[in-house]
C-alpha cells in the first residue's frame, strides 16, 4: 500500500533516490545513455554498472552522451562494479528483469507489480532493479541474487526488449505508483513490506556463502555439484526475508556447526 507519509515532494524525492537501476555487462554505451535518459525522465537518478563492455572509463562516450539527451549527470554519477553482489550492497529488495523463464521456478512479478514493490519498500531503504545483457539477459546465478523475477508482458512470439526500452517501462511504473495513491505491492502480494530491519543483499550474500561452506564441510553438499542446491536455498531464504537479527542467529548456528566439521569458519 502507498504509505501516507510520502505525499510531500521531499519524501517522494527521497524514495526515488533509494531506487537504483543496475545494468549488467551492457555491450553498447549508447544503451547506457538511453537508460540514463529513461531514468531521468521519471525522476530516478541512481545508476550502477556491472562490468560495462566499454570499461569503467569508456562507457560515457559520445554515443552514450548523445543517447542520454541531457542526462549526462546520471552518467557522471554512475557507479561501476566488478560483480553484481557488490552493486547490490545495502539493498533490502532486488528485482531481476528477464524475458525468458527458468528451469528453476522463481517468484514472478509483472512490471506494474514490480513498480509497486520498489516504491513500497524504498520507503524503508535502498532497493534495486537489475537489467541483464542485451543478448543473453541475466545468468541463473545472477538471478539467484534477486528476490523476484520481474517481466514485462510482451508478444510471446517476440518477447525481447531493448534494455533501454525495458528500463523506460519500469521507470514509468515506479513513478506511476509513487504518485498514484493506489494499493501497493504489499497488499497485492500479501507480504509485509513495512519491516525496516530486513537483511540487505550483501548481508544475505555473506550468510549464503557461510551456509554453503558449512554444508560442504559437513559433507551435505558436494563443492563441485551444488549449484542447483545453492540456488534453491537462496530462493528459500529470499522468500523468508529474514531481518538482521535472524541472519545473525542463523550464522551463529552455522558457526557452532563448523568445529564438528573439522575447522573454524
- Answer with the one of 128, 161, 189 that is the final residue of a domain: 189
Tell me the pLDDT band of 57, cut-offs 50, 70 and 90.
Answer: low
Tens digit of pLDDT for each residue in 218-247? Answer: 989 888 888 889 999 999 999 999 999 999
Closest residue by Cα to residue 150 from 121, 133, 173: 173
Number of domains in the chain: 2
| pLDDT given for residue 101 in this prediction | 62
Q: Which domain holds residue 30?
A: 4-189
Rounded Cα distance between 119 and 255, Å, is 36
d(CA 4, CA 12): 11
196 in a structural domain: no
pTM value is: 0.86
Looking at the chain, the whole-number percentage of residues with pLDDT higher than 70 is: 86
Burial of 248 (0-12, 13-18, 19+ CB in 10 A): middle
Q: Are residue 17 and residue 124 in the same domain, yes or no? A: yes
**Interval 50-61 mean pLDDT:** 82
pLDDT tens for 94-145 read 999 987 665 667 889 999 999 999 999 999 999 999 999 988 889 989 999 9
Domain end, chosen from 163, 189, 215, is at: 189
Q: Give pLDDT, residue 188.
A: 39
Q: Are 92 and 34 part of one and the same domain?
A: yes
Which of 156, 189, 222 is the endpoint of a domain?
189
234 and 134 belong to one structural domain: no
Amino acid at each position: 500500500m502507498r504509505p501516507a507519509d510520502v505525499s510531500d515532494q521531499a519524501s517522494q524525492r527521497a524514495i526515488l533516490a533509494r531506487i537504483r537501476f543496475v545494468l549488467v555487462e551492457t555491450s553498447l554505451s549508447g544503451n547506457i545513455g538511453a537508460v540514463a535518459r529513461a531514468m531521468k525522465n521519471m525522476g530516478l537518478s541512481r545508476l550502477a554498472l556491472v562490468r560495462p563492455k566499454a570499461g569503467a572509463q569508456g562507457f560515457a562516450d559520445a554515443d552514450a552522451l548523445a543517447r542520454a539527451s541531457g542526462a549526462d549527470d546520471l552518467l557522471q554519477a554512475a557507479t561501476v562494479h566488478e560483480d553484481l553482489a557488490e552493486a547490490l550492497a545495502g539493498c533490502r529488495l532486488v528485482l531481476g528483469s528477464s524475458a525468458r523463464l527458468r528451469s528453476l521456478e522463481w517468484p514472478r512479478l509483472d512490471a506494474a507489480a514490480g513498480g509497486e514493490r520498489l516504491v513500497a519498500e524504498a520507503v524503508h531503504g535502498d532497493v534495486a532493479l537489475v537489467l541483464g545483457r542485451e543478448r543473453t539477459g541475466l545468468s541463473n546465478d545472477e538471478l539467484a541474487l534477486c528476490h523476484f523475477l520481474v517481466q514485462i508482458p510482451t508478444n510471446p512470439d517476440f518477447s525481447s526488449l531493448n534494455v533501454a526500452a525495458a528500463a523506460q517501462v519500469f521507470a514509468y511504473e515506479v513513478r506511476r505508483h509513487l504518485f498514484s495513491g493506489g494499493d501497493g505491492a504489499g497488499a497485492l502480494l500479501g507480504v509485509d513490506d513495512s519491516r525496516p530491519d530486513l537483511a540487505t543483499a550483501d548481508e544475505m550474500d555473506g550468510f549464503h556463502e557461510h551456509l554453503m561452506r558449512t554444508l560442504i564441510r559437513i559433507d551435505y553438499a558436494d563443492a563441485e555439484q551444488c549449484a542447483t542446491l545453492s540456488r534453491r536455498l537462496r530462493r528459500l531464504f529470499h522468500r523468508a526475508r529474514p531481518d538482521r537479527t535472524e541472519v545473525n542467529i542463523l550464522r551463529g548456528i552455522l558457526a557452532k556447526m563448523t568445529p564438528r566439521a573439522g575447522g573454524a569458519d
